[in-house]
Every structure is written in structure tokens, then in C-alpha cells.
């Protein structure tokens, strides 16, 4: 990475972190919304828009966009020492109840039937055997606050672990 790229990337990444921290702590309202409730994240498009309003641009002097920010993050992540230097101080969020989730800590869902980790992304059952059991018992009587008997069983199982 040449010096010009590094300094521009550092400048943009630092501004991204600053904006996200001040927004997350409620110090400044940039109009950032959490559009995707599944991931509870601000999108790159929103951040690029805020940064463009603050006068930031890409290396070619053009307005920032989602892809430009993704590229900056990618380049910064390639340099561990730079990433360590620029990452936010998570202690600032201690009183907000926020805890950082890293991609390596993402939880794989457990099979609704047997409870083992499901390997295929987006699936809730681990095998054809579990699919058959699920199909045979999915309409079994259960508490209506749960979508299926298996959801109710998982909930009750987790409660019993907590209470013992």
C-alpha cells in the first residue's frame, strides 16, 4: 500500500469510526438508521452519504459510495497494526449495553429437532432424518406463542438449564 493510499484510507476509516461512535453514543444525530434489524447495522450507503456531506471523497476526488467504503475497510483490515490503531475503544459503549460481535463469534443455529449445529446457512434442520421427524411432528399440540412444538421444546430446555 503506498503512502498516499494509506493516508487516505486512514483518514476515511478514522472518520467512519468517529461518525459511528458519536452516532452510537447519541452525541450527534446523523440520521443513520438501523435498516436491517437482523444485523442491527448501519449500512455503508448511509455512512457514505453522511461522509459526502462532511466533504469526504474517494482517492479520485469523487463522492464516496458503498463500494468505496467497503474497499477502505478491506484495505485497513489487511494491515493488522493499522486496524489495531484505528479500531474504536469499546469501553465507550459500556454504559449503553452494547457489546461488539465479531464475525468469528457468529452463532450457527442449532437444529430444531436434535440440537446439533446446522452447517448449511439458512437451514434450521441438520439432516434428512431430522426433516422427517420435523414433518411428522410439526403440527403437534404446543403453546401458541411458539411456531412449532420444537421451538417450545428448545425454549423449555434452555429454561431448565438456567434454573439448575
Question: Looking at per-residue confidence, does 129 or 41 come out higher?
Answer: 129
Q: How confident is the model at residue 45 (pLDDT cuts 50, 70, 90)?
A: confident
Q: What are the boundaries of each domain within the chain?
A: 3-96, 105-164
Task: With 0.85 as the threshold, say if the pTM is over it.
Answer: no
Helix segments in the chain, DSSP class H: 3-24, 44-53, 66-78, 80-86, 128-137, 149-163
**pLDDT tens track for 59-117:** 889 999 988 998 888 888 888 788 778 877 777 776 665 555 544 344 566 788 887 88
Give the pLDDT score at 3.
46
Amino acid at each position: 500500500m503506498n503512502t498516499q493510499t494509506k493516508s487516505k484510507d486512514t483518514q476515511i476509516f478514522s472518520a467512519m469510526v468517529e461518525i459511528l461512535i458519536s452516532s452510537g453514543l447519541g452525541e450527534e444525530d446523523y440520521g443513520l438508521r438501523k435498516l436491517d434489524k437482523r444485523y442491527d447495522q448501519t449500512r455503508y450507503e448511509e455512512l457514505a452519504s453522511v461522509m459526502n456531506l462532511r466533504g469526504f471523497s474517494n482517492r479520485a476526488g469523487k463522492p464516496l459510495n458503498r463500494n468505496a467504503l467497503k474497499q477502505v475497510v478491506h484495505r485497513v483490515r489487511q494491515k493488522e497494526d493499522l486496524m489495531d490503531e484505528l479500531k474504536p475503544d469499546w469501553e465507550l459503549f459500556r454504559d449503553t449495553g452494547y457489546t461488539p460481535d465479531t464475525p468469528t463469534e457468529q452463532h450457527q443455529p442449532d437444529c430444531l429437532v436434535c440440537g446439533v449445529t446446522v452447517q448449511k446457512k439458512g437451514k434450521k434442520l441438520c439432516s434428512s432424518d431430522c426433516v422427517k421427524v420435523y414433518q411428522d411432528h410439526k403440527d403437534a399440540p404446543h403453546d401458541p406463542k411458539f411456531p412449532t412444538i420444537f421451538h417450545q421444546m428448545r425454549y423449555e430446555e434452555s429454561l431448565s438449564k438456567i434454573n439448575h
